[in-house]
Homo-oligomer: A and B are copies of this chain.
Amino acid sequence: MALEVGQSSAIEKCLDQESVVQFASLAEDYNPVHLDAKFAASTPFERPIVHGMLASSLISGLLASELPGSGTIYLGQTLKFVCPIYVGETITAKVTVKHIREDKPIATLATQVFNQDGKLAVDGEATVRYIVG
């Protein structure tokens, strides 16, 4: 099926403590607001929050696996971290085709990550080159 404006795909995932610890090591990001409950209690967040880039990484997976899918090449991404996601929440990442270029197989997709309560936590836009199937 050809790519069409309005198509969307979503994935749910629980971002548990183990995921956060693994990501901290990969990103060399040991910000205690993610890893130390006592420290987090002293911040406006009150409890440990997930790394914004960890939550956003699910967008990469969706683009490559689902929409546009296999063969997708990631060209760009914008991210706004709108509200915190707490460790242990099951989040939903969603991508929606917004625009398809007429001259090249390049598409822009709205990319959104929602927290467990359905509130928008990360808002942004991806640009990808896709395989015309």
Interface residues of A (CB under 8 A from B): 11, 13, 19, 22-23, 26-32, 51-54, 56-62, 64-65, 70, 72, 74-81
Contact = CB atoms under 8 A, between A and B. Distances in A.
27 contacts: A11-B28, A13-B28, A19-B26, A23-B26, A26-B26, A26-B54, A27-B61, A28-B61, A28-B65, A29-B60, A29-B65, A30-B64, A31-B72, A52-B74, A53-B53, A53-B56, A53-B59, A53-B74, A53-B77, A75-B80, A75-B81, A76-B78, A76-B79, A76-B81, A77-B77, A77-B79, A78-B79
A3 to B, nearest CB: 17
Contacts of A56: 53
Instruction: Report, nearest first, the 4 A-B pairs whose CB atoms are least far apart.
Output: A29-B61, A27-B57, A31-B64, A28-B61
A21 to B, nearest CB: 11
A26 B57 contact: yes
Given A27-B57, A29-B65, A31-B70, 18 more contacts: A11-B28, A22-B22, A23-B57, A26-B54, A26-B57, A27-B61, A29-B57, A29-B60, A51-B57, A52-B60, A52-B74, A52-B77, A53-B56, A57-B57, A76-B79, A76-B80, A77-B77, A78-B78
